[in-house]
């Protein structure tokens, strides 16, 4: 339970889930446990009012947030989400998971996250731009290339990052490409960034499969969410000889035991907005997706998808968490009991922030790498990070999730201890 006055005690809230994950890791922190309370608080949380003039002349107000969870290891780093259900507590949890993720792959960053409580689909493009620019100005007092570097998340993209970069640059009077990542390529963006998260899911999945003697050749995979992360991961696994037998998104669930033909499915998704209605597969009930015969399951859509009830039914041997927070804590325990290996979000989907780090480094040096260089460096970092986590899990006989938290929390708290408390 939280001791903070401004958070609720709702048991399944993302912040409470995060706190229970921290509690599980405290026994493995040794003398650093003295600093563990640091992880249960956010360093700074800014709530801003975003008033904008709408196209019809009326004035609308939106609620915006930027939370910096921990900055012991470097500037804050984390995306900005536009969603009608965004809350301060959700942004706090997402910022905390960024602290863990950045430390797990040993990037020189702390964790941060932002959000606006809005349904962006209801705004015109000009309204979206005005809201983004006003939000950037309001949080401008705490972001910056050396302070806190936003990036895209749910419902935000390269265009929104370009507006954020331009607004911040106008306010400081100099072009500051390093203030955000996930920018368009010609504005200091990085090659390989768009597919980096899916690539990280593939790399960690390939390594995990190798370690449990699961042959990718012919392995059957079910993917929930066929957006940026899910579809990129699916393409890479398909290229490695696996069969994508089922896919689910907000438009429906499809099944083809022989393997979906991605060369026709991808254009179908681009043209129609989802997998629903794809002619090369059978349609199935959404709930039946969780019973599909497969070796690998990739949740790459939303939070809280693998509930305890679904965890009891899964057929997969390996779960690769492309999404943030797809598995509830009770489901985690059931998967562990059933011997189903989970590669947790805080390492599995860290490929995106890793290439964001490459983008930031390239912006500072104004020297840009080839896509091959980026993919090779990403592969090396992800393989090394997973190895350390795997060794930690073996040593303490704990799950990969607790091991990832152990590795990350030790790095964060070591930095906390070495820096000392100010004043």
| Bridge pairing between strands 220-224 and 44-53 | unpaired
325-333: which pairs have CB atoms within 8 A and are 24 or more residues apart?
A: 325/14, 325/17, 325/93, 325/97, 326/224, 326/299, 326/301, 326/302, 327/299, 328/12, 328/17, 328/304, 329/17, 329/20, 329/21, 331/306, 331/307, 332/399, 332/401
Return the closest-CA partner of residue 139 out of 65, 41, 60: 65
Catalytic residue, candidates 77, 101, 113, 195? 113
CB 290 within 8 A of CB 310: yes
What mask, x for binding ligand NAD by CB under 6 A, covers residues 182 to 221? ---------------x------------------------
Identify the CA nearest to 68 among candidates 169, 165, 139, 160. 139
At its nearest, how many Å lie between ligand NAD and the CB of residue 273? 8
Neighbouring C-beta atoms of residue 265, cutoff 10 Å: 23
SS3 content of the chain, % helix, strand, coil (to 5): 50, 15, 35
Active site residue 113: yes
Tell me how far apart the alpha carbons of residues 14 and 20 are, in angstroms, rounded to a whole number.
10
From the list 136-144, 205-213, 248-256, 391-399, the region that binds ligand NAD by CB under 6 A is 248-256
- Residue 218 backbone zone (phi > 0: left; psi -120 to 50: alpha; other: beta): left
Using CB under 6 A as the binding criterion, the count of chain residues that bind ligand NAD stands at 22
Shortest reach from residue 105's CB to ligand NAD, in Å? 12
- For ligand NAD, the closer of residues 88 and 196 by Cβ is 196
Please tell me the distance from the alpha carbon of residue 49 to that of residue 87, in angstroms, as a whole number.
14
| Closest CB 122 distance from ligand NAD, rounded Å | 17
Q: How far is the CB of 396 from ligand NAD (least distance, A)?
A: 26
Site string for ligand NAD, 102-131 (x = CB under 6 A): ------------------------------
Q: Which is nearer to ligand NAD, 97 or 405 (CB)?
A: 97
The nearer residue to ligand NAD, 250 or 396, going by C-beta atoms, is 250
Q: Return the residue of 54, 142, 154, 187 that touches ligand NAD, per CB under 6 A.
A: 154
Binding to ligand NAD (CB under 6 A) within 312-371 occurs at 322-324, 349, 352
Q: Choose the binding region for ligand NAD from 2-10, 47-55, 211-219, 223-231 (rule: CB under 6 A).
A: 223-231
Other residues' Cβ atoms within 10 Å of the Cβ of residue 257: 14
Smallest gap from residue 321 Cβ to ligand NAD (A): 9
Give the strand pairing for 76-83 and 148-152: parallel
Give min distance, CB of 106 to ligand NAD, in A.
17
Under the binding rule (CB under 6 A), the answer on residue 374 touching ligand NAD is no
- What are the tokens at 286? 């959404």
Annotated catalytic residues are 113
- Give the footprint of ligand NAD on this chain (CB under 6 A): 153-154, 197, 224-230, 248-250, 274, 300-302, 322-324, 349, 352
């Amino acid at each position: 339970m939280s001791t903070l006055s401004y958070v609720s005690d709702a048991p399944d809230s993302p912040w409470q889930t995060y706190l229970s994950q921290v509690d599980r890791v405290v026994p493995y922190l040794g003398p650093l446990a003295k600093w563990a309370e640091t992880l249960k608080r956010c360093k700074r949380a800014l709530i801003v009012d975003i008033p904008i003039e709408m196209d019809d002349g009326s004035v609308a107000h939106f609620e915006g947030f930027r939370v910096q969870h921990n900055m012991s290891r470097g500037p804050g780093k984390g995306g900005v989400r536009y969603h009608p259900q965004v809350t301060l507590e959700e942004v706090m949890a997402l910022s905390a998971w960024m602290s863990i993720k950045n430390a797990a792959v040993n990037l020189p960053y702390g964790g941060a996250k932002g959000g606006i409580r809005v349904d962006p689909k209801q705004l015109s493009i000009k309204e979206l731009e005005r809201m983004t620019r006003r939000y950037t100005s309001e949080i401008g007092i705490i972001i910056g290339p050396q302070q806190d570097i936003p990036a895209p998340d749910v419902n935000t993209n390269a265009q929104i990052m370009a507006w954020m970069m331009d607004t911040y640059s106008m306010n400081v009077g100099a072009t500051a490409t390093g203030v955000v990542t996930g920018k368009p390529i010609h504005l200091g963006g990085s090659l390989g960034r768009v597919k980096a998260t899916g690539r990280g899911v593939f790399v960690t999945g390939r390594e995990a499969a190798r370690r449990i003697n699961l042959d990718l050749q012919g392995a059957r995979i079910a993917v929930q969410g066929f957006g940026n992360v899910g579809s990129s991961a699916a393409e890479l696994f398909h290229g490695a000889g696996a069969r994508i037998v089922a896919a689910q998104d907000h438009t429906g669930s499809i099944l083809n035991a022989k393997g979906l033909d991605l060369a026709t499915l991808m254009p179908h998704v681009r043209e129609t907005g989802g997998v629903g209605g794809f002619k090369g597969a059978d349609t199935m009930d959404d709930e039946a997706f969780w019973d599909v015969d497969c070796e690998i399951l990739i949740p790459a859509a939303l939070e809280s998808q693998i509930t305890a009830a679904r965890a009891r039914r899964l057929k997969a041997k390996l779960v690769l968490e492309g999404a943030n927070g797809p598995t509830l804590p009770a489901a985690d325990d059931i998967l562990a009991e059933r011997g189903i290996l989970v590669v947790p979000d805080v390492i599995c989907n860290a490929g995106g922030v890793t290439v964001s780090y490459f983008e930031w480094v390239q912006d500072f040096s104004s020297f840009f790498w080839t896509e091959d260089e980026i993919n090779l460096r990403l592969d090396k970092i992800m393989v090394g990070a997973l190895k350390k986590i795997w060794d930690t899990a073996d040593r303490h006989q704990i799950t990969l999730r607790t091991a990832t938290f152990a590795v990350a929390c030790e790095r964060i708290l070591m930095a906390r201890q070495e820096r000392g408390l100010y004043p």
